[in-house]
A and B are shown apart, each in its own frame.
Chain A
Amino acid sequence: MSTAARAAAIVSQYFSAPIASLEATALLLGTELAASGNLGPLSSQQIDALVEPHALATVALPDVHIYGAGFIAAVGLLTDERNHLSWWQGDDPKRLLLAAQSVNKEHIDYSELEWFRVPMETGRGHVAGPYVDYLCSDEYTITIAAPVHIDGTFVGVAGLDLLIDSVERQLLPKLAELGDNVTLVNSVGRVVISTDPRHATGDAVRGGALAELERTACEGVALEIIAE
């Protein structure tokens, strides 16, 4: 197997458990929301109670350090709040309360942000980032999100956050073992991590030496490997 193929397999393996957990959560939440919704429209408290066990289970997954997880409601879904994040994050996961952040974020319109917009528009799961997540983690982040539906109607997204800091710590040593220089890029050609210290996380490959090289897709997650 080529270095690129082996690297792609390592990356797929790394992301497989979080993605499987997220997809299971999205399906389960759809069912649970539908069941609760039969009794009448939902409040933010009811949503939080439904989401919390799923979010905490996702954050507690072994092997991959997940920083945050939860459910973000479609605008207008709930009776008492127009926008709502049922989101738990941190090493000792706590519910994120936007009003209590050092900079108030309650009125940030999240419906346009990639991790929300793409699953809403395509009806499919999406890997967003790396990007500066100024709503939840406040860090350089990858967000994986899957749409939640009730009877075919979009009601929000289930998501999880991986900090690039953790991805670098956990994934880079495994890629470095392959010997050759390997760079992981996202679907728009942005460097996630690279065993070559000259390729900085966040840089675009366009215009540089990497732009000309072949990219190998990582199965199950929309990321690509460039081997040198």
Chain B
Amino acid sequence: MHSTDSADAPRKSAVVADDTARSRDALRPGRLQGALFQSIGDAGRAELVERRLASAITGGHLRAGERLPSENDLARSFGVAPTTVRESLLALRSQGLVVTRRGRNGGSFVADSADPVAHARTALAATSRVALRDLGAHYAAITAACVRLAARRAVPSEVQQVRSRLARLDESDLEQWRSTLDDAQIELVALSQSARLTREQMRLQAEMSPMLRLIDVDETSRRAQPVLLASVVDAVEAGDDHEAVAATERMVDAVINALIDLQSPSR
């Protein structure tokens, strides 16, 4: 109920089954055999874990050189067996996204060669125009619903926080530029006071963000974005829900058009 995280499901059932599991502990075979008796729920989970980590890396959320949490920590958080995590790390290693170092300061790290911008360029090229427009429609629908509520519910000091985040945008650091804009966007929609809508927006933001980095490279498109977002912020602060929705649609249109321009062969 509290989380939409799909990894939650096995954890919850594990809680229910806890007592029987503990009483069976004494009969459990040795460590090596443990993998054999891994819960059925782990079948196909290695691929899920792999996909989750891969999208975090190619999306730039885990940066080149960054250390991944330990296998045991990852296993606990995903609610899967450590062997499942190990399997997915093996796959990520073969894709060249992750490197493993041995020794005292060892562990798994994001490969230095993992470049989210290059990855986004490939992903954008492989996306059809109809899919891009549909992504825009979904994004605009969720964001519009959020800002409509936010315009009714937010208090001025909260809106001011979003504005002061935007004021810290730094063009000399495009990583910071993108994460600050993403944070401001989420902070704004959270003012809707709707947990469901905010979660949906976060999923969409994670999907869009790598592609938005491509737009950020172009000075004109880059500079247009905070201006468009600021006009949504202004409308929310004024309590004008109609204008907040209209400004959101203008913002999303501009972004999708910029992405389609990037796709076209004339560029």
Contacts and interface: CB of A to CB of B under 8 A. Distances in A.
Nearest to B157: A188
Interface string A187-199: 0111000000000
Interface in A83-99: 90-92, 94-97, 99
B7 A94 contact: no
A121 to B, nearest CB: 13
A102 to B, nearest CB: 5
Given A102-B203, A189-B155, A190-B155, A90 B179 contact: no
A36 interface: no
Contacts of A139: 2-3, 195
Contacts of B152: 203-204
B4 A102 contact: yes
B93 interface: no
Contacts of B158: 188
A132 interface: yes
B193 interface: yes
A131 B189 CA distance: 11
A67 interface: yes
A102 B5 contact: yes
A112 B2 contact: no
A74 to B, nearest CB: 18
B68 interface: yes
At the interface, is chain A mostly helix, strand, loop or mixed?
Answer: loop
Nearest to B146: A132
A134 B157 CA distance: 19
B186 A138 contact: no
Interface stretch (A26-34, A53-61, A103-111, A149-157): A103-111
A91 B203 CA distance: 24
Contact of A132 (B2, B59, B179, B193): B193
A188 B155 contact: yes
A123 to B, nearest CB: 20
B195 A140 contact: yes
Interface stretch (B74-82, B121-129, B219-227): B74-82
Contacts of A100: 7, 52, 69, 74, 77-78
B22 to A, nearest CB: 13
Nearest to B56: A104
Contact of B56 (A96, A99, A138, A190): A99
B62 A134 contact: no
A141 B192 CA distance: 13
Interface in A165-201: 165, 188-190, 201
Interface range on chain A: under 10, 10 to 19, 20 to 34, or 35 or more? 35 or more
B198 A134 contact: yes
Contacts of A21: none
A95 B73 contact: yes
A202 B193 contact: yes
Contact of A99 (B6, B62, B205): B62
Contacts of A163: 2
Given A97-B74, A109-B183, A138-B199, A104 B155 contact: no
Contacts of B155: 188-190, 204, 206
A197 to B, nearest CB: 17
Given A132-B198, A134-B198, A139-B195, A97 B179 contact: no
Interface string A65-91: 001000000000000100000000011
B38 interface: no
A101 interface: yes
A154 to B, nearest CB: 20
Contacts of B6: 102
A42 to B, nearest CB: 17
Contact of A104 (B1, B4, B62): B62
Contacts of A203: 152-153
B52 A102 contact: yes
Interface of A: 67, 80, 90-92, 94-97, 99-104, 106-109, 112, 114, 130-132, 134, 137-140, 163, 165, 188-190, 201-204, 206
26 contacts: A90-B2, A90-B3, A92-B15, A95-B73, A99-B53, A99-B62, A100-B69, A101-B5, A102-B6, A102-B7, A103-B205, A104-B206, A106-B61, A108-B183, A114-B161, A132-B194, A132-B195, A138-B2, A139-B3, A139-B195, A163-B2, A188-B157, A190-B155, A190-B193, A203-B153, A204-B155
Interface of B: 1-7, 11, 15, 52-53, 56, 59, 61-62, 67-69, 73-74, 76-78, 152-155, 157-158, 161, 164-165, 179-180, 183, 186, 190, 192-195, 198-199, 202-203, 205-206
